[in-house]
């Protein structure tokens, strides 16, 4: 037996639509989930929407429950929170997180969902995938007690990283962004703030999350000798240029990539991707993350919301999607 649900599809670059899809009856090792919240990733998902993923990266950037192929038509997304309506008794009625696209209901294997702690609301739980990226970044960056750290780029990822960094004892954490409105959000998560022109140098560690050449160059310029930039940005088809004739060689500076597609080598032998996601959900017990939830729209409005997010007409950090009955 099958039921019907509604799903958001990217029909072609820059054009989305709501489609009716079939949802099968769950098998013995599967669950049926009714979505209550999803969220739009301002990084990768918007890059996919505008067609900015290079063709040689289509396979690498495939989402866990993606349907179709890049550049489209494709059903793409990975920040979904819902209630289990069919499945094992221990999960019935439980709120779960799943790396699933925007869809009103869906069936996935049991291992595809992770229960949300009882004290984490659905609006905050959609950040699990982003906090998971931040966890992986800290495993890669290995900040030390008392480090002076700057996060360049105050978007979803950068602010999640900053919130985790401020919990390392003695750290001095500053968020740098071109948008002065990010100052209030940075303060609410316990970090300092500076516009690029006023950012202080001599940093032990810089985490870059602005997805821009200027942001990466600034990150290098802020480092102390022998410091490291951990780059979380996904540039897609955008060319990146840097000035490396200054202190890059004499200061023995380093740029290290961090990507959530695989567990950091620092923990790969002892943690699975599910372990990492469970940790992210536990960290979301922290209500400070609520400062990143900056707006919401109804599921039916997604075909209009994505273009507005992509061109900046709709400014947002984490924009959540709400679902009605059925």
- For 284-306, the pLDDT digits (tens) are 999 999 999 988 999 999 999 99
The closest alpha carbon to 150, from 211, 212, 185, 198, belongs to: 198
pTM (predicted TM-score) = 0.93
CA distance linking residue 102 with residue 69, whole number of Å = 16
**Domains of the chain by start residue, with CATH:** 2-127+284-322 (3.90.180.10), 130-257 (3.40.50.720)
Tell me the average pLDDT across 89-107. 97
pLDDT of residue 231: 96
Range of weakest confidence among 104-118, 161-175, 307-321:
307-321
Q: How confident is the model at residue 1 (pLDDT cuts 50, 70, 90)?
A: low
Check pLDDT > 60 for residue 325. no
Q: How confident is the model at residue 237 (pLDDT cuts 50, 70, 90)?
A: confident
Tell me the average pLDDT across 6-29. 96
pLDDT of residue 254: 94
Q: Determine contact, residues 1/26, Cβ cutoff 8 Å.
A: no
SS3 sequence, the chain?
A: CEEEEEEEEEEECCEEEEEEEEEECCCCCEEEEEEEEEEECCCHHHHHHCCCCCHHHCCCCCCCCCEECCCCCEECCCCEEEEEEECCCCCCCCEEEECCCCECEEEEEHHHEEECCCCCCHHHHCCHHHHHHHHHHHHHHCCCCCCEEEEECCCHHHHHHHHHHCCCCCCEEEEECCCCCHHHHHHHCCCEEECHHHCCCCEEEEEECCCCHHHHHHHHHCEEEEEEEEECCCCCCCCCCCCCCCHHHHCCCEEEECCCCCCCCCCCCCCCHHHHHHHHHHHCCCHHHHHHEEEEEEHHHHHHHHHHHHHCCCCCCEEEEECCCC
- For 21-47, the pLDDT digits (tens) are 999 999 999 999 999 999 998 778 998
Q: How confident is the model at residue 312 (pLDDT cuts 50, 70, 90)?
A: confident
Q: How confident is the model at residue 138 (pLDDT cuts 50, 70, 90)?
A: very high
- For 167-210, the pLDDT digits (tens) are 999 999 999 999 999 999 999 999 999 999 999 999 999 999 99
Tell me the average pLDDT across 225-240. 89
pLDDT of residue 326: 40
Q: How confident is the model at residue 162 (pLDDT cuts 50, 70, 90)?
A: very high
Range of weakest confidence among 91-95, 237-241, 268-272:
237-241
**Mean pLDDT over each residue of the chain, to the nearest integer:** 94
Tell me the average pLDDT across 141-159. 96
Question: How much of the chain exceeds pLDDT 70, in percent?
Answer: 99
Tell me the average pLDDT across 13-25. 96
């Amino acid at each position: 037996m099958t039921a019907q649900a509604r799903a958001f599809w990217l029909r072609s670059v820059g054009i989305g639509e709501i489609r009716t899809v079939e949802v099968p009856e769950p098998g013995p090792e599967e669950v049926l989930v009714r979505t209550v919240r999803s969220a739009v990733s301002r990084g990768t998902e918007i890059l996919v929407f505008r067609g900015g993923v290079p063709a040689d990266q289509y396979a690498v950037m495939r989402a866990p429950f993606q349907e179709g192929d890049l550049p489209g038509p494709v059903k793409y997304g990975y920040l979904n929170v819902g209630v289990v309506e069919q499945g094992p008794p221990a999960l019935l009625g439980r709120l779960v997180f799943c790396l699933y696209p925007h869809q009103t209901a869906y069936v996935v294997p049991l291992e595809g969902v992770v229960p949300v702690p009882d004290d984490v609301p659905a609006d905050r739980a959609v950040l699990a995938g982003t906090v998971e990226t931040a966890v992986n970044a800290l495993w890669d960056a290995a900040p030390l007690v008392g480090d002076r750290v700057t996060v360049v780029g105050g978007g979803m990822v950068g602010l999640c990283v900053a919130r985790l960094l401020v919990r390392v004892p003695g750290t001095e954490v500053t968020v740098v962004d071109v948008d002065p409105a990010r100052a209030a959000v940075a303060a609410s998560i316990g970090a300092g703030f500076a516009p690029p022109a006023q950012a202080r140098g001599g940093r032990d560690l810089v985490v870059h999350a602005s997805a821009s050449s200027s942001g990466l160059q600034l990150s290098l310029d802020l480092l102390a000798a022998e410091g490291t930039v951990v780059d979380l940005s996904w540039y897609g088809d955008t060319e990146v240029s840097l000035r490396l004739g200054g202190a890059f060689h004499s200061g023995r500076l380093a740029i290290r990539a961090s990507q959530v597609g695989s567990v950091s080598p620092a923990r790969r032998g002892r943690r699975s991707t599910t372990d990492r996601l469970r940790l992210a959900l536990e960290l979301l017990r922290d209500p400070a993350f609520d400062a990143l939830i900056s707006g919401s729209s109804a599921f039916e409005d997604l075909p209009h919301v994505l273009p507005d997010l992509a061109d900046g007409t709709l400014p947002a950090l984490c924009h959540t999607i709400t679902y009605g009955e059925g």
